[in-house]
Amino acid sequence: MLFDSQALRIEDSKGKLLSELFTLPPELVQKLQDSIALIQAALPGEWVDDDSRRKSYSFLSCHYSWYARYGEKGHNAPKDASHLNNVEKDQEGRTNFTQRLPHESKEMLENLKGYSLLAEAYSDIFEYIRVLEKRHPDTFGELRIFADILPMNAASPAYPFTGFVLNLRVSTWGHRDHGDKRICIVIPLGDYSNGELCLYEVGLMFDLKMGDVLLFPSCDITHFNMHFSGKRGTIVLHSDRQGDQWSLDFRGWGAYINHVRALS
């Protein structure tokens, strides 16, 4: 189990978590290795040797996540309609019904088979990650709030995170993930050289290899990947911070949500 081994926890002078690093047990590292064949099946032609220094370099980022961002609010909508999809805007313009509720990412909807393959491949790893709640009860408790009220009782395979991202051949500029809530978890996979993950304000560089797991507040710390060569991927667990508004009052659509539930 996680707590029989060592984890490196780094805090600031006030005790705020900056990062936490540990290594998966050997049987789960093997599952990461085995998952590469499923990546090749789900995303043909994408798991290849690459060098981020090459001309015209690009990478692939597949988001398998639930989002609450960009949603239309319903606080001023009439409450006597039989369904929220019967409520349209008075002014000209298209009514976007699909984003009134939390919604699946485009990659999930367009490649459900690939998503299902990868979710199953990483299920044991996601289950192991949930042990972290014993170390971070407040943070994981906050993440659970949105994950527990997804539409139609949907369940995220990365629970309590509401999604995961599969990055292939990624090397990034410095950035913060302002749309993420509290923390993210990064798990690298593949056989590659370099590609270190850097936390700018903290002044740390992590030479992560397959089986390592890094937790850090991606919304607060500028981070980026160094150049790499080889076959490299990362799995990133994250949650949409806009889920807070949905968790608070269903973004104003609560009357319709309760009406539908009453009929079920």
Residue 183 lies in a domain: yes
Q: Measured between alpha carbons, how far is 246 from 73 in angstroms, rounded to an integer?
A: 10
Residue 2 lies in a domain: no
Q: Which domain holds residue 153?
A: 23-77+100-263
- Whether the predicted pLDDT of 75 surpasses 50: yes
Count Cα neighbours of 74 within 13 Å in the Cβ-side half-sphere: 27
Both tokens of 165, joined, read 């991202």
Residue 150 lies in a domain: yes
In the prediction, which pLDDT does 79 show? 74
- Whether the predicted pLDDT of 261 surpasses 50: no
Q: Measured between alpha carbons, how far is 230 from 192 in angstroms, rounded to an integer?
A: 4
Tens-digit pLDDT profile for residues 95-146: 767 778 899 999 999 999 999 999 999 999 999 999 899 999 999 999 999 9
Residue 90 pLDDT level (bands cut at 50, 70, 90):
low
Q: How many domains does the chain have?
A: 1
In the prediction, which pLDDT does 7 show? 87
Mean pLDDT of 23-48: 95
Which of 73-82, 124-133, 157-166, 206-215 is the least confident region? Answer: 73-82
- Whether the predicted pLDDT of 259 surpasses 50: no
Residue 8 lies in a domain: no
**CA neighbor of 49 nearest in space, from 57, 153, 144:** 57
In the prediction, which pLDDT does 235 show? 98
The DSSP code for 46 is -
Which CATH number is 241's domain given?
A: 3.60.130.30
- Whether the predicted pLDDT of 22 surpasses 90: yes
The overall average pLDDT reported for the chain is 89
Residue 158 lies in a domain: yes
Q: Measured between alpha carbons, how far is 51 from 43 in angstroms, rounded to an integer?
A: 19
In the prediction, which pLDDT does 19 show? 95
Residue 138 lies in a domain: yes
What percent of the chain shows pLDDT beyond 70? 92
Residue type, 80: D
Mean pLDDT of 56-78: 88
Residue 111 lies in a domain: yes
What DSSP line would sit under 1-19, residue for residue? -GGGS--EEEE-TT--EEE
Which of 25-39, 145-159, 242-256 is the least confident region? Answer: 242-256
What percent of the chain shows pLDDT beyond 90? 73
Q: Measured between alpha carbons, how far is 195 from 52 in angstroms, rounded to an integer?
A: 9
Residue 3 lies in a domain: no
